[in-house]
Amino acid sequence: MTALKYAGMDDTDSEDELPPGWEERSTKDGWVYYANHEEMKTQWEHPKTGKKKRCAGALPYGWEQETDDKGQIFYSDHINKRTTYFDPRQAFTIEDMQVKPKRYDGNTTALEVLHDCDLSDKVVVITGANSGIGFETARSFALHGAHVILACRNQSRAMKAVSLITEEWRKARVEAMTLDLASLRSVREFAEIFKARKLPLHILVCNAAVCTQPWNLTEDGLETTFQICHLGHFYLVELLQDVLRHSAPARVVVVSSESHRFTDLVDSCGKVELKLLSPPQKEYWSMLAYNRAKLCNILFSNELHRRMSPHGVTCNALHPGNMMYTSIHRSWWLMTLLFTFARPFTKSMQQGAATTVYCAVAPELEGIGGMYFNNCFRCLPSPQAQDPTAAASLWELSERLIQERSTPTQVL
């Protein structure tokens, strides 16, 4: 009641008293959720009644919603010259009669997930978006009004992808920017240019990947698969963290793979070993390098969510689909031959993009992260992918690799 009194609304006849240790909060869009400070968890349902609620109507006259330096939302009463972190609309909440979330499966397409969605107020960045799943993800977002940025290494292919989307809908807001994840310098330049434009960032999709690559070192001295699939994305998020926080609620979506189950990364002490992630040529096997990179994706996603969720930024990882015919395997003729024969039984690119899009926009995932999805359903990754010690160890290793090869940046 103290917060209500401060907001000038202590005369409300609220019927739902919260148990000790619980706090009622609201999202930027007015949806009410509940925080349990003892168990350090949040949920949409009232802990006693099980009801979901949302704030009715707009803010009272004279009130304005703002964001502080830490990305936390607060409210200013310009008439009485005061501020509070309590949403004054919470004094007038109504029961949520929301329709149950739609059910999707492996045959669902990205456009079906986005049916009736208006994304005209969203800015989306997608890595590796000039072809395959990344392109269909970008196309689906753009056709629903989002401002989409294709972050790609090959600008000629990226511009062709932009043209294909704008030919389909001339009002689509889609553009290409140069980003080579095999170069930490390129990642840094991309982030600097993006931030200079003063755009928000509501959805960041870490989609780019390579598979079955011959052994090669990047200009930063690291194995190519590891840097493109993991470290480049890690650095990108690190550089854009402030933009994500100020754009909250924001989401990071990391495209992983079921192949993460067929490897491990840690030594007997539970620490992630660099020699496994960036091995010498004589110890390198391309498929194993890919599997390890995909395991990194899930560990990174979990740790990122743990660190960023208090600031309104959530993160989830996903598997796009089994036996999908993309260009990612183009470096290995045997894999290309296998996929050619299997193509009639594989997912389409639109179906492959569905889980990415679901993790990026599903209302039921607002404020929820640190999970792994397949066919738009939550599933459990491998035991090691769930290991918080391994996730923290990978994070520390990634930070060290970045610091050794680039100028200092703010640590997440």
Cα(409)–Cα(208) distance, integer angstroms: 23
* Amino acid 96: pLDDT: 61
Residue-wise pLDDT for 47-94, tens only, equals 888 888 887 667 776 788 888 877 777 888 877 778 888 788 877 666
Two structure tokens written together for 265: 């990364």
Contact, 204 vs 158, CB < 8 A? no
pLDDT of amino acid 13: 46
Q: And the tokens for 258?
A: 């079921």
Stated pTM of the model? 0.74
> Strand 123-127 and strand 63-67: pairing?
unpaired
Give the residues of the chain that fall short of pLDDT 70: 1-16, 28, 56-57, 61, 92-101, 323-345, 407-412
Question: Can you give the pLDDT at residue 328?
Answer: 52
Q: Kindly state the DSSP code that residue 328 receives in the 8-state scheme.
A: G
Sign of CA dihedral 97, 370, 243, 207: negative
For 350-386, the pLDDT digits (tens) are 999 999 999 999 999 999 999 999 999 999 999 999 9
Please give the pLDDT value at position 296.
98
> Which pLDDT score is estimated for 3?
44
Which own/partner pairs from 387-390 qualify as long-range (CB within 8 Å, at least 24 positions apart)? 387/266, 387/270, 387/299, 388/302, 388/303, 388/306, 389/270, 390/265, 390/266, 390/270, 390/272, 390/299
pLDDT of 84: 86
Q: How far apart are CA 97 and CA 54, in angstroms?
A: 9
**pLDDT value at residue 72:** 75
List the beta bridge partners of residue 149.
125, 175
Q: What is the pLDDT of residue 345?
A: 54
Q: Cα 373 to the chain's mean position, in Å?
A: 12
- Residue 104: active-site member: no
CA atoms lying within 13 Å on the CB side of residue 65: 17
pLDDT of 336 reads 56
CB-based contacts of 84: which residues, under 8 Å, 6+ apart? 3, 6, 7, 74, 75, 77
> So what's the pLDDT on residue 324?
53
Q: What percent of the chain has pLDDT over 90?
A: 63
How far, in Å, CA of 162 to CA of 139, rounded?
A: 9
If one counts every other C-beta atom within 10 angstroms of the C-beta of residue 82, the result is 12
- Catalytic pick from 33, 34, 75, 290? 290
Q: Given this model, what pLDDT does residue 344 score?
A: 52
Q: What is the pLDDT of residue 5?
A: 44
User: Under the phi-then-psi rule, with left for phi > 0, alpha for psi from -120 to 50, and beta for the rest, what region is 178?
Assistant: beta
